[in-house]
Chains A and B, each alone.
Chain A
Amino acid sequence: MTSQFAKVTDERVDVELDCSGLLCPLPVYQASLALGQLSPGQVLRLVTTDPGSLEDIPALARQTGSTVLAAERHEDHQLFWIEKGLRS
């Protein structure tokens, strides 16, 4: 199930990263490396299954100056759309 907001943001996705099956700290580690390859304003779409990432990914964004445009919580996975910030 995808929200209308998610459809809008999907058009802006520059890179997709699937961290299914990976536990902390790997989703944060890999998302950080992926964001490092992006230019400010570009968007990373991230899939995780570690429930801890519901808090970890917003924390990564806060700490690195990026923005979680949207987050979706599904029964067995989470989706995040993260816009790379000016720093980091």
Chain B
Amino acid sequence: MTDAITRTSTDDEVARRRRIALVASKGTLDQAYPPLIMATTAASLGWEAGVYFTFYGLDIIHENRLQRLKVASLANPAGPIQLPNLLGALPGATAAATKIMKKWMSDARMPTVPEFIEMAQGLGVRFFACSTTMGVMGVEEDDLIKGCEIAGAAAFLDYAAEADVQLFV
């Protein structure tokens, strides 16, 4: 079965450089992927891309915590292990769910979160660290991975206002 298509880009489709502004507000392993995948893809399309890491999402760019992101086994009916909440609360259940998710990703040859971060930064994706979250959670600039810009909500909105796509994860 073979079919062929021909498509030509028009000038106005790519005349202005597009921009995506993402908010990453969750700090679980599963929720770290979507903003990083979107940002990496956007940058691959030649877009400007920026991610605002806020609240638990700040863990994704926290040098130590990003290595220990987990998948919730409790109150997560779509998670990798289908357990009643009573059992999901048992010691080791979160570790098991996390291990399964990592195996899914690795079997599918998907990059790890640190690898996606490297890919994104390599393509020039800007990482904004929420200054309020840093203050609330006692996170110092040195705790973050390299290349992050500390920004408040106004600075991010100023960036997002010029974006063609804005997504909150």
- Chain A contacts to B: CB under 8 angstroms: 1-3, 5-6, 21-26, 28-29, 31-33, 58-75, 85, 87-88
Contact A65 B14 (CB under 8 A): yes
A85 contacts B109, CB within 8 Å? no
Chain B residues, Cβ within 8 Å of A1 = 1-2
Q: Known contacts being A23-B110, A61-B9, A63-B18, is A73 close to B3, with CB within 8 Å? A: yes
A31 to B119 alpha-carbon distance, docked (Å): 14
Question: Is B4 located at the chain interface by the 8 A CB criterion?
Answer: yes
Contact with A along B114-153 (1 / 0, CB 8 A): 0000010000000000000000000000000000000000
Task: Chain A residues near B14: list those with CB within 8 A.
Answer: 62-65, 87-88
Whether the Cβ atoms of A6 and B4 lie closer than 8 Å is: yes
Given the complex, which residues of A lie within 8 Å of B8, measured CB to CB? 67
Given contacts A60-B45, A64-B14, A64-B45, contact A25 B6 (CB under 8 A): no
Residue ID in chain B nearest A25 by CB atoms: B41
Top 8 closest A-B pairs, CB basis? Answer: A32-B44, A63-B45, A25-B41, A65-B14, A70-B4, A29-B44, A64-B46, A62-B9
Q: Are A29 and B41 in contact (CB under 8 A)?
A: yes
Contacts of A74 in B (CB 8 A): 1-2
Question: Is B5 close to A, CB under 8 A?
Answer: yes
Pairwise interchain contact A65-B41, C-beta atoms closer than 8 A: no
Nearest Cβ in chain A — how far from B9, in angstroms?
5
| Size of the chain B interface, CB-CB below 8 angstroms | 24
Task: List, in ascending order, chain A residues with CB within 8 A of B46's CB.
Answer: 32, 63-64, 87-88
Count how many pairs of residues, one from A and one from B, have CB atoms less than 8 Å apart in the complex.
86
Q: Taking the complex as formed, is B108 at the interface, i.e. its CB lies under 8 A from any CB of chain A?
A: yes
Give every chain A residue within 8 A of B52 (Cβ-Cβ): none
Enumerate chain B residues within 8 angstroms of A5, measured Cβ to Cβ. 4
Q: Does B156 contact A (CB under 8 A)?
A: no
Tell me whether B18 and A22 are in contact (CB under 8 A).
no
In the complex the two chains form, what is the Cα distance from A31 to B44 in whole Å?
Answer: 8
Q: List 20 A-B contacts (CB under 8 A).
A: A2-B2, A23-B108, A23-B110, A25-B40, A25-B41, A28-B41, A32-B45, A33-B44, A61-B9, A64-B9, A64-B14, A67-B6, A68-B6, A70-B5, A71-B3, A71-B5, A72-B4, A73-B3, A87-B14, A87-B46
